[in-house]
Amino acid sequence: MAAQAIRLFRKMDGLFAVYKPQGVHWKHVRDSIESNLLKALNSCPPPAPQHAVQFQLLSSGENSSSSKDLALSPTMVPTLADHPLVTGPQFHKVHVGVGHRLDAFSSGVLVLGVGKGNGVLEHLCKSHVTRDYTLEGEFGKATDNFTDTGRVIEKTTYDHVTQDKLERVLAMIQGANQKALITYSQVDLRTQEAYELAVRGLLYPHGKSPPILTGLRCIHFNPPHFSLEVQCVNETQKYLRKLIHEVGLELRTCAVCSGVRRTRDGPFKVENALTRQHWTADSIIQAIAHFHKTTRRIRKSGMYRQTAGQMNSSAEVQEQIRSQTGQSEQINQDEFSSSTSDTVVDRETPVTMSEGRTKHR
């Protein structure tokens, strides 16, 4: 029935995560999920057809006195105005939003939103949540796009590279990014608030900032292959592939990236991501119900952040108005004092002239 399709459509409201395979564009993932949701909605049984009264003309019989005698018989016939072959499918579009995107070379967690979840996706993208990646690298060559499938432009040796040297380079890179994080967090390091935020790991950049690594370590080392685990903010997959190239340069060799895999996007982990065979309406609805509390928490934090921003902007406007009012009052006082002094001088001048006349006399 139509009510069944409507109930199913109302359940498609929230956030969920899917696992995007490597070599597949994120638009293809979105279009596939939209198509699967539309098929599920339009496969519900159509509503029962409505009936209308129709009068049928019957013959009056052979013994009728006049050929003008007519007999009408009322009958109930189904109307075809609401038939699916006439109206077409009941649902034509289901909008699926995409969060932090992944390029075709990368794989991993991709957060999507349906219904009101599209608005929550905006709060998630504006929030400074950290994302985890696993980077696969290979020493010994360099390409034009920092990947192992690009055009090779240089080959070098890597026998001198050890795990200790690699970890020292990673520690140096992480230290430089920690300084950048403190700089863009706009927090006074001499305050107790800055100390508590740093201890709990809650420092994050305010406003626009370059990509910042909050964590970097080696989890596998078997030359020429190695793997890195990265936690970062405001990153792009191209930046992560270039990071592998820069690590190779610091080690006096070359390196290319053979894989970028996102394992976490804020509260969404790879364990809860739907694989390709589970991109069905039933699995998506279950995933939306699983992340219902997470979606509500993101929505509340986004609304709080928006309200706080409006309060800060209104406070700044009020402060500007107060400063302008104070400046205008100061200008009025200066003008009043200057006009008063001029009046005093004008009053004193005739007295002095009269005194001069008296002395002259």
Q: What is the 3-state secondary structure (H, E, C) of 121-176?
A: HHHHHHCCCCEEEEEEEEECEEECCCECCCCEEEECCCCCCCHHHHHHHHHHHHHH
Beta strands in the chain (DSSP E): 14-20, 51-58, 71-78, 96-98, 107-114, 131-139, 141-143, 152-155, 212-222, 225-233, 255-265, 268-269
144 classed as catalytic: no
Q: Specify the residue for token string 């699983």.
A: 290
Give CA–CA dist 91/225, Å, rounded. 50
Give CA–CA dist 99/117, Å, rounded. 10
Indicate the burial class of 294 (C-beta count within 10 angstroms; 0-12, 13-18, 19 or more): middle
Catalytic residue among 103, 148, 282, 334: 103
User: Is 100:264 a contact under the CB 8 Å cutoff?
Assistant: no
Q: In whole angstroms, how far apart are CA 267 and each of 136, 239, 297?
A: 23, 23, 10
Give CA–CA dist 99/205, Å, rounded. 19
DSSP characters over 197-220:
HHHHT-----SS---EEEEEEEEE
* Start-to-end Cα distance in the chain: 120
The catalytic site residues sit at 103
